[in-house]
Amino acid sequence: MPEGDTIRRLAEWINRRFAGQRCERCVTRDPRLVHVDLAGTVLREADAHGKHLLIRFDDGRTLFAHLRMEGSFKVGPRAIEPEWRRRIELWMEDGRLTGVDVPVLGIVATAHEDRIVGHLGPDLCGPELPDLDAVLDRLAEVPDEPLSGALLDQRNVAGFGNVYAVELPFVVGVSPSQPVGTIGGLAGLLGLGTAVIRTNAARGPQNTTGRKLQLDDHWIYRKRGRLCPLCATTLVGWEERNSPWRRVTTWCPTCQPLEDNRTVDLDRARRLLALHPARREPTWPR
């Protein structure tokens, strides 16, 4: 699933290609968009909040989208997918913007975007640094939530998806099931995770190791059954259906034991991410 960094990059891409251009023709094939016609409007800007994409037009309307697992946008060339999969197609002055298989699409008044994103926690990948104290406050209200579930809950913080929910606990040596109320040093974990996702949003592609910046690269995500890259213990995990937070999960039982109380290991994180450009981000824990 695209995470906050990917959606932010998509918004920037739409901006570079289409901001300031008039929509010349608009075709929708989504029951929620019946009667919606954006032809004649100018695309002002694309933005993101967490995993929500917001495309604003000069008539005061915002097209919002959430891609979940299956959706995508084609920016520029004509989409080749069959018509019924192209839920919305906009003919812009300089190319086509097509939402393919996008499961959540709708129109809202730009002034009322908070109806769509108002319930979300601070946006990790926005132009402003997120308020991590506000995230800590929200986590303090759900002390029994397992770490990965709490990171995935967009009401706590908007932007982390399952890659980060698997990788961040590994990097700091905490079990994904460790209740957040029993974790010492959560602020350091959040600062580190924010630094990594913001770096990926700015540079792309998504990378949680810093080792092969031209490749999508992860420590243990979807590597269940393989060996821990640090201690060579066999990685364990859950399929989606067995996971309390309904996502594929992997962890190292030696590096990430579930304990009564556990402290985030920032030395381990600094060692593992020694080559990651996230180290230059302001939220990186010093």
Interface with Zn ion (CB under 5 A)? 228, 230-231, 233, 252, 254-255
List, by residue number, the catalytic residues.
2-3, 51, 247
Q: How large is the greatest C-alpha to C-alpha distance in the chain, in angstroms?
A: 60
Gap between the Cα atoms of 280 and 225, Å rounded: 33
CB of 54 to Zn ion, least distance (A): 40
For Zn ion, the closer of residues 61 and 268 by Cβ is: 268
| Residue given tokens 């080792």 in the structure block | 211
Cβ at position 217, least distance to Zn ion in Å: 18
| Cβ nearer to Zn ion, comparing 170 with 284 | 170
Nearest of 119, 190, 208, 115 to residue 150 by alpha carbon: 190
Distance between CA 129 and CA 108 in Å, rounded? 26
Listed residue (39, 3, 45) closest to 20, CA to CA:
45
Q: What tokens were used for 184? A: 């010492």
- For 74, list phi and psi in degrees, rounded to 5: -100, 125
Smallest gap from residue 237 Cβ to Zn ion (A): 13
Nearer to Zn ion (CB atom), residue 22 or residue 223:
223
Nearer to Zn ion, 16 or 226 (CB): 226
Contact 29, 105 (CB under 8 A): no
